[in-house]
Amino acid sequence: MGGRGGARQSLIFDADDTLWENNVYFERAIEEFLDFLAHSSLSRAEARATLDEIERANAGVDGYGSAAFGRSLRQCYERLAEHPIRDEDLAVVMGFAERILAQEIEPIAGVAETLPELGRRHELILMTKGHPDEQRLKIERSGLAGHFRHAAVVPEKDAAAYRALTTELGLEPGRTWMIGNSPKSDINPALAAGLNAVFVPHAQTWGLERAELASGRGRLLSLGRFSDLLLHF
């Protein structure tokens, strides 16, 4: 690995739940939604499973972000509500998602101190998925944009997306690392594309982003916290 005094590496960072908190706000919105739904026969877990099913089906069409999440909440409410649905009810439901956009950008512990040091040693790149306007607004509001040579917002983070980014930026796969919290979007597809990867787990990772870590041509490193990157790069 790069390490202190080692060869310069290209470090690609995930954004949501790697650089700053994200899913915790969606989880709070879901709890508010379940309180409002107050289903008489379904448990909270059963109602949540219905929402997960809807989100999984919609992701390929609507993508990710608060607007897509709001549409999924609305569809879930329309499916499960036990009384005639009023416009004011739907406004409340959509409000749970809309408030997410107003949340402050809260960096993950260690990010603000670690990125500047990594940037002195290596090339830093940002790669995130979701609605382009929403994700770029987060990047701007985070105050972290200046650390990165390039910031890419893609609709999906799969092996093809990683290959396209490495080609666009002229990166050498053997010296390129994807750093993130999601096995599904950050680690497994990067390894499949021939890159190396660093898994930094987050307790609030979205359920639909969880998966078993897979092997690939590249090297895999698992860390306990973001600041541990300084021990290896």
Per-residue HEC secondary structure of the chain comes to CCCCCCCCCEEEECCECCCECCHHHHHHHHHHHHHHHCCCCCCHHHHHHHHHHHHHHHHHHHCCCHHHHHHHHHHHHHHHCCCCCCHHHHHHHHHHHHHHHHCCCCECCCHHHHHHHHHHHCEEEEEEECCHHHHHHHHHHHCCHHHCCEEEEECCCCHHHHHHHHHHHCCCHHHEEEEECCHHHHHHHHHHCCCEEEECCCCCCCHHHCCCCCCCCCCEEECCCHHHHHHCC
pTM beyond 0.85: the answer is yes
What is the model's pLDDT at position 211? 84
Question: What are φ and ψ of residue 210, in 5° steps?
Answer: -85, 145
All domains of the chain in start order, with CATH? 10-20+106-231 (3.40.50.1000), 24-102 (1.10.150.240)
| pLDDT score recorded for residue 212 | 86
What's the whole-number mean pLDDT along residues 69-95?
95
Mean of pLDDT values over 162-189: 96
For residues 105 and 124, what is the distance between their CA atoms, to the nearest angstrom? 20
Whether the predicted pLDDT of 198 surpasses 60: yes
* Mean pLDDT, residues 74-103 taken together: 94
Return the pLDDT at 63.
79
Quote the pLDDT of residue 7.
Answer: 85
> Does residue 182 contact residue 205 with C-beta atoms inside 8 Å?
yes
**How far apart, in whole angstroms, are the C-alpha atoms of residue 195 and residue 174?**
6
- Whether 172 shows a pLDDT value over 90: the answer reads yes
- Count the neighbouring beta carbons within 10 Å of the beta carbon of residue 21: 17
- Mean pLDDT across the stretch 98-111? 92
Q: Looking at this protein, which amino acid is placed at residue 153? A: V
> Tell me, what's the pLDDT at 1?
56
pLDDT band at 102 (very low <50, low <70, confident <90, very high): confident
pLDDT given for residue 89 in this prediction: 96
Q: Is pLDDT at 210 greater than 90 in this prediction?
A: no
Write down the pLDDT at residue 2: 52
Tens digits of residue pLDDT in 17-57? 999 999 999 999 999 999 999 999 999 999 999 999 999 99
Q: In whole numbers, what is the pLDDT of the chain averaged over residues?
A: 92
* Amino acid 4: pLDDT: 55
Which pLDDT does position 149 carry in this prediction? 95
